Amino acid sequence: MKLLFLTTDDSTFWSHRLTLARVAKKGGADIVIMTRPGEHCSRLEKEGFQVIAWSISRKSLNPIRELRSFFQVLRTYRDERPDLVHHIALKPIFYGSFAARLCGFIPVINTVTGFGPVFTRTNLVSRVLQHLLINILGLCFRGGNGRVIVQNNDDRDLLLQKSIVAPENIVLIPGFGVNTEQFVPCPEPEGEFLVILPGRMLWEKGVCEFVEAAKELRIRGVAARMVLVGARDPDNLGCIPERKLKDWVESGSVEWWGHQTDMPAVICKSHLVCLPSYREGLPKALLEAGACGRAIVTTNAPGCSYVVRHGENGLLVPIRDSHALAEAIQKLMQDGARRQQMGVVGRKRVEMEFSVKKITRQTLDVYAALMNGKWRFDRTLVMEPLKYQPKGEI
């Protein structure tokens, strides 16, 4: 079987989908990855995967450029003749679904990784874009020759309520999975209390609310180091200007460590992990925190509330509420026994529900079902000890 992945970012594929591609290849599939070329393309080729460069920009709305990107996908599908294509995120879903249909209804897997800032804003432009997005997705998901994978129950319910996809064609697979052999429980460090926000520096990640909560804690006299961990994402319309981040650091409110490659070590330096996001697919950073035995403070937002059960492995606070965020952080800071018990529960949940082996097995089951017996994989391949993933990257 020739399996083609269409994705906009090679680094995200490397950090999120490498195990899936490895196991599918081990099971006899030829792997083709069409993506925007970056620093990880050579690594993917060394894994034995064919990589095809895709001229795509995540933030571009230029119709000429977007049309070129679409025809590039169409030409690739006609040349490669894949037996199955897997589209990851919205632009690949849009272009890949129509290209597959024009090539004779190639079997399609569409993974919705979240709906992004369009669904977190309420202005007129966002409401128009929401309506447009829903209608386009309805066209993409039409027909019975494909499956839609969603990562949380809120996104599943939205698609079903809008009648965008038939119930029998939608599958909930929670995220990309966490390597529980790489992200392992570690004791809390000695010294000053450290709270981290791991994620890209986007407004929609709740970075501003995190900074405001840090300011409030300082005013209260609460001695906590509040740290932003992650790089800016200039291709995202919600990217926070570098000058703004530096202003926050210079004010003494927070620290900004930028991009970190050894996320297990970063998490183990912390006492608490916080992600006040407005909306997620399924935040891998929170799963990694749970795997390392850390309690979590996050928002009652789609995706985040799927990972955290309030009072069990963390606390949920309202979206865009920096005061509630500060209250939750201080509450867990002052109750070490409860915080550590939450970490134990979080680790168990990740092992039971979110391990990379479990998620990989579920995804390959969807492949096999859609191929109608034309391709089967040996499930024991996923049960073998997997090689360590590269250091977890944000």
For range 172-195, the mean pLDDT: 95
Provide the residue type at 27 as one letter: G
Q: Give 322 or 118, the one with higher predicted confidence.
A: 322
382: pLDDT strictly greater than 80: no
- Can you give the pLDDT at residue 122? 73
State the pTM of this model.
0.90
**Phi-psi group of 169: left, alpha or beta (phi > 0 → left; psi -120 to 50 → alpha; rest → beta):** alpha
**Partners of 84 in the beta sheet?**
3
For range 325-334, the mean pLDDT: 98
Please state, in angstroms and as integers, the Cα–Cα distance from residue 255 to each residue in 118, 227, 247, 261, 273, following that order. Answer: 29, 5, 11, 17, 14
60: pLDDT strictly greater than 80: no
390: pLDDT strictly greater than 50: no
- Can you give the pLDDT at residue 392? 40
Domains of the chain, by residue range, sit at 2-177+355-383, 193-352
The DSSP output letter for 10 is: H
Q: Work out the percent of the chain whose per-residue pLDDT is above 70.
A: 95
Each residue of 243-262: pLDDT tens digit? 999 999 999 999 999 999 99
- For the ranges 140-149, 301-310, 331-340, the lowest mean pLDDT is seen at 140-149
Each residue of 203-252: pLDDT tens digit? 999 999 999 999 999 999 999 999 999 999 998 889 999 999 999 999 99
Each residue of 340-349: pLDDT tens digit? 999 999 999 9
How confident is the prediction for the chain on average, in pLDDT? Answer: 92
Look up residue 345 and give its two tokens.
Answer: 């529960």
- Can you give the pLDDT at residue 131? 85
- Can you give the pLDDT at residue 220? 96
Look up residue 256 and give its two tokens.
Answer: 């900004």
118: pLDDT strictly greater than 90: no
- For the ranges 86-90, 113-117, 330-334, 379-383, the lowest mean pLDDT is seen at 379-383
Answer yes or no: CATH 3.40.50.2000 is held by domain 193-352.
yes
Q: Fold match between 2-177+355-383 and 193-352?
A: yes
Give the fold, CATH level 3, of 2-177+355-383.
Answer: Rossmann fold (3.40.50)
- Can you give the pLDDT at residue 383? 55
Q: Give 315 or 381, the one with higher predicted confidence.
A: 315
- Residue where the block lists tokens 């269409």: 6
Specify burial of residue 100 (Cβ count, 10 A radius: 0-12, 13-18, 19+).
buried
- Phi, psi for 347 (deg, rounded to 5): -60, -45
- Can you give the pLDDT at residue 57? 83
DSSP for 52-106, written as a single string:
EE----SS---HHHHHHHHHHHHHHHHHH--SEEEEESHHHHHHHHHHHHHTT--
368: pLDDT strictly greater than 50: yes
Cα 137 to the center of its chain, rounded Å:
19
